[in-house]
Structure 1
């Protein structure tokens, strides 16, 4: 049975021991029948919640037993994930050795995931002691191989303690207020309380946030468990990227630095898209002979629109403006900053109390934040001015067209474009008509992938440059700020509207 859900928008630590210490004489006994490889009553036990300390010796009904050295069948050892030792047990002369631990998941492989390594020592009397550590995730537990049972129980020279591992499966579930402990397919976990408001079951209550090529995704643990998928069987496209449980939700995270987790970057005409998926398989065991594995594939995307439009009102109060844009998929955001400066070194911003004078040099910086600058640059496609706070005004003057200075305005200089996520240009201030008038500046830009594109515009006069982006205006918006005069103090005014086709320049 396959459950498919579509798109939803080693290093070894040195062994330090005190002089004269011998773990063969100082250990704790683990004599729990459910650890045996022939135990199949339930799968609820978990060793990640045990406070492991010191060394342990495995017994089975008082008889010496050791860990398995080969893959363990599913539904054994009283757990959903059987831990076995990947390597041979040491000899007496070997002393303390380190061995890898594998997690057996029958539907993937015998060593599907690796747990932290443990230390092992052979002791006189043909038994072994293990320095166990908490495995990564639940439900996983250390197994005892019934094929190695020996009646030789050697006496020890020091008192021996017996482990007190909790066998109540609900103690290990750690359910929150909206959950209740229960059993699904022979495994104990947290079910959703029907008296509480449930998140969207069709998407397992998915909540995702994307910013700067990073994404945080969380799902409802109880909805997943009710569908037969415990949190410990889930991972991103990269099987090593597993989730963590926080406040009843299973959380995943990937980024573009050290935790890519199988994320794929794609592009269409309007968006750059980061794709990944939450995957997992669970086995509904119904005995020793048959099982019915189920598969989950929850695919999601983080979309960043290629093209954006921004406007800033430049009159008596010229302020740095920040545009916050919500993206359509996975709540991703990036910001566009438009800042006017007085100098070409871009060190002196307008204070907000000054009025631009005719023929005064105006230097504009348009900065994009919230996307990975190693993958993208921003390209100014066009910038224009209007005498009113309306980017579609029929009275307008082009400053940048087709990513290059308007040849009709000899004062415009494009200082940086397509190089990074910061674009810069300058022009000399003017008025519409002979009397002083406010001037409003509007810019349209798009993101360009650096890996396979030449993002720097060619503004050579010999070559008539044409914009080379295939992105249209389907997803663009105009974001306006101001006006900030007439004695009204306004920090920010957002006007979001589809951008119609702009009229040709006309004075």
Structure 2
């Protein structure tokens, strides 16, 4: 009877809010994770650059941890690109960080892979400590290579200028509207104008008024003390213009902000923010199928303002669910290769991915004189009955398969290369046809090597 009582002590929250409870055979122990943690301070955890060398894994991370250093002091709350954070599949926090009065909360960390921001997941516990930092309880990772990311933006949340209340925040006085500075971020699905809260003095997010408010979304980013105004990449809606040529897509939009929306009169200038994001839709990526047969990725600066990421994944099954793992894979010539090509995190909804030419070479040089075409002019090579094109010109992914083969001669590796296009489905038909000249009128070429 007494043992039964002891077993329920932790469930009765005997340790109190924010304390961790440990039940032993003859006693209960309470511990504050804010006083018992391990510091993690690797700068690469906050990296957004894709890299395939010096990969890391957190499979040995068990217990409470605190992030410090230039990489960031807390986990990101949004999906991170594959191959960022010094690993293959970066882990990010699928939820919001707790407040001080919430104690220890349970959350989920998601791993991004193969176009799925939550391909794998792991339970984590988080607590906000009185010092303003968070601590995290990890229990390893689902697989390797995976690491827990940090958000370098969170470093700015500790800048203190003026304490008008119990909370510290950045505070400056801008006497002229022209002094207000913004940061424009060109994403895959939207344009984002970011303002420091201090630039609007004590303006509350509820008082920000956009003359075309139904077209934009206003977000408050507490970790960075900023307001973010989001404009979706949709042409011919809410005044957003799309100007295209054979190599670029330029989205333009204008924000009109009233700084005194409830006043009868005003002497403040109207704040107009002109946003323009130019996307260069040319991508080049490489994947050594003999040394790194799982996936290849590269980020290309798109006109200096925006970027897409293309990558290829190699699967074991026709359902395109089981990825090859490891740094080197030996594949029998009797095996079928299932290959997926993706635009990471999608893109503007009216674009689809069209494979134009996919071929193999015996070296990593895509211009090698020896080429074996798997897909040519967007159609499967009819001379090879093992080739199947499952999806092409339908969405932001393409799927095809082919039986493994070996080049005749002194070659022991096979390299795949794909030329592809982003096609505007609103302006033209993107379904591949037999003739390359009839394929699409407004496609933009991409080169992808694997």
Under a length normalisation based on structure 2, what TM-score does the superposition of the two structures give?
0.50
Q: Per residue, is there more strand in 1 or in 2?
A: 1
Q: Per residue, is there more helix in 1 or in 2?
A: 2
Under a length normalisation based on structure 1, what TM-score does the superposition of the two structures give?
0.45
The structure with the largest alpha-carbon Rg is 1
Q: Comparing both chains, which one has the higher relative contact order based on Cα–Cα distances under 8 Å and sequence gaps of 6 or more?
A: 1
